[in-house]
Amino acid sequence: MTSKIAVICGSFHEQEIGQMLSWAKEEAEKHSLELLEEVWVPGSMEVPLALERSMSLADVDGAICLGIIEKGETKHGLAMGQAVIKTILELQLKHNKPIGLGIIGPGAESRHILPRLEPHARAAVSAVAKML
């Protein structure tokens, strides 16, 4: 029986997240996971709500989230990123289902993003596969 994995994508960096999604799909095949139709949200801040909705479904065994939280001129991104990641951890525990964190940042600078796209996407899927 194939495990069904929800996919939540932040669309603020749509092109980069699209690339991450293709690597996530490749990695899912290696682990015999079925990635469900992806849910696109405006940005990483909206990921937890989409995860909550997906994780509440009985036929969803886990989830991955893909996004980028760049370093800004203020601490807004850092504070937001910490809140998002904390909430994702809480959702894992609440639903007793694994969530693979494929969010780059918070605090990512432009030069950090491209080299991290593939490793973060693959690691998110791999983590869920190992936890299932």
Q: Give the pLDDT confidence score for residue 6 in this predicted structure.
A: 98
Mean pLDDT (the chain, rounded): 95
Residue that has been written with the tokens 């886990």 in this structure: 62
Lowest mean pLDDT among 46-55, 73-82, 100-109: 73-82
Please say if 95 is a catalytic residue: no
Instruction: Set out the domains of the chain in order of their start, with CATH numbers.
Output: 3-131 (3.40.50.960)
Q: Which of 76, 95, 112, 120 is catalytic?
A: 76
For residue 132, the model assigns a pLDDT of 97
Q: Would the pLDDT of 121 be above 90?
A: yes
Q: What mean pLDDT comes out for the span 104-119?
A: 93
Label residue 67 by pLDDT band (50, 70, 90).
very high
Quote the pTM value: 0.94
